[in-house]
């Protein structure tokens, strides 16, 4: 029998990651391009096509050996129709039938989903949420994204827009969010908001990495910052724990590297404020698949879709 492969792509505002995976979702080859070098939608699409073709050529693979192409994308996606509604951080994309365009150019089957959904799918199938039935996965970055696993399946909803934990309000009155909402979680713990807060606390410019390393040495200012972030995140999660009664909450993305201080505070807030049955059930743990979660999720998407 011919060995089969999957092409997995993770498009972010900064990087375009492409990987060739085997049918067990192991990454065999990977290439990374800078997203910003492509000024137009058309040039970005062509770069994806070229990268896939050069993958095939260099590995001497025929298209019949490729099960399909899976893509994680940084915005709302209609998975059923393969439609990109828009990207909040990449201009020029509005209601693009990307699946159809790529399938025509590539002669391969293509499947799209939101990047946070695919990270969640990967953590559920092969990572920190493995073995749970209902789970919430969160990525902490410039944006705060999420995905929901319900009864062992990724829950997308009919509008394909479920899982926006970053846009759960944690106060009735508060700062305006880019999404149009008010007092959204992301408005408190998106990377730039943490930096703003930290610059004030330290009275100078400070990076998230430095805050994490100072917090590990018990620097009181740094500890306070991660505890504050943990409280904001914890309050948003209390509502979701009481509503969805999940078995597991997985937290990934750069800020998750803040480590024990952040996780301890999140767990403490849930234990103190969520209802007892729900609080006792839920495990809060760090994402396992790290930087490659999106790519692995894109590969799983192909396997689940064909």
Please state, in angstroms and rounded to a whole number, the distance separating the CA atoms of residues 264 and 271. 10
Point out which span in 18-26, 37-45, 111-119, 148-156 binds its own copies (CB under 8 A). Answer: 148-156
DSSP, collapsed to helix, strand or coil, labels residue 113 as: strand
Give the x-and-dash track for 7-46 against its own copies (CB under 8 A): ----------------------------------------
* Least distance CB 246 / its own copies (angstroms): 7
CB within 8 A of 124, min separation 6: which ones?
A: 130, 132, 135, 137, 149, 154
Contacts with its own copies in 263-282 (CB under 8 A)? Answer: 272-278, 281
Q: Can residue 167 be called a binding residue for its own copies (CB under 8 A)?
A: yes
Q: Can residue 158 be called a binding residue for its own copies (CB under 8 A)?
A: yes
* Least distance CB 118 / its own copies (angstroms): 17
- H/E element, 108: none
Q: Can residue 242 be called a binding residue for its own copies (CB under 8 A)?
A: yes
Please state, in angstroms and rounded to a whole number, the distance separating the CA atoms of residues 164 and 186. 10
Q: Considering beta carbons, is residue 167 or 193 the nearer one to its own copies?
A: 167
Please state, in angstroms and rounded to a whole number, the distance separating the CA atoms of residues 194 and 188. 7
Using CB under 8 A, pick the residue from 3, 64, 172, 217 that binds its own copies: 172
Say which DSSP state 219 is in: -
Q: Can residue 95 be called a binding residue for its own copies (CB under 8 A)?
A: no
* Least distance CB 100 / its own copies (angstroms): 20
Q: Considering beta carbons, is residue 235 or 258 the nearer one to its own copies?
A: 235
Q: 157 burial class (0-12, 13-18, 19+ CB within 10 angstroms)? A: exposed
Q: Can residue 181 be called a binding residue for its own copies (CB under 8 A)?
A: yes
Q: 176 burial class (0-12, 13-18, 19+ CB within 10 angstroms)? A: exposed
- H/E element, 42: helix 41-58
List residues binding its own copies (CB under 8 A). 76, 85, 133-134, 146, 148, 150-151, 155-165, 167-172, 179-182, 231-232, 235-236, 238-240, 242-247, 272-278, 281
């Amino acid at each position: 029998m011919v060995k089969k492969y999957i092409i997995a792509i993770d498009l972010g505002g900064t990087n375009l990651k492409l990987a060739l995976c085997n049918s067990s979702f192991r990454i065999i080859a990977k290439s990374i391009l800078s997203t910003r070098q492509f000024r137009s939608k058309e040039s970005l699409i062509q770069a994806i096509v070229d990268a896939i073709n050069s993958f095939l050529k260099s590995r001497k693979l025929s298209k019949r050996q490729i099960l399909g192409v899976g893509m994680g994308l940084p915005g709302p996606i209609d998975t059923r129709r393969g439609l990109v509604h828009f990207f909040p951080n990449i201009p020029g994309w509005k209601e693009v039938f990307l699946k159809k365009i790529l399938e025509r150019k590539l002669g391969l089957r293509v499947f799209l989903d939101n990047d946070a959904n695919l990270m969640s799918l990967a953590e559920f199938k092969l990572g920190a949420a493995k073995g749970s039935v209902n789970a919430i996965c969160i990525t902490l970055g410039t944006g705060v994204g999420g995905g929901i696993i319900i009864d062992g399946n990724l829950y997308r909803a009919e509008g394909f827009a479920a899982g926006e934990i970053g846009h759960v309000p944690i106060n009735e009155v508060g700062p305006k969010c880019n999404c149009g909402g008010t007092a959204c979680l992301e408005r408190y713990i998106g990377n730039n908001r943490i930096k703003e807060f930290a610059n004030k606390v330290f009275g100078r410019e400070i990076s998230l990495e430095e805050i994490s390393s100072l917090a590990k040495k018990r620097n009181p200012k740094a500890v306070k910052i991660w505890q504050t972030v943990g409280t904001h995140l914890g309050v948003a999660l209390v509502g979701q724990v009481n509503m969805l009664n999940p078995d597991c909450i997985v937290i990934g993305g750069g800020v998750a590297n803040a480590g024990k201080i952040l996780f301890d505070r999140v767990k403490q807030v849930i234990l103190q404020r969520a209802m007892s049955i729900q609080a006792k059930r839920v495990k809060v743990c760090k994402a396992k698949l790290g930087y490659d979660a999106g790519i692995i999720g894109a590969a799983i998407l192909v396997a689940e879709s064909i």
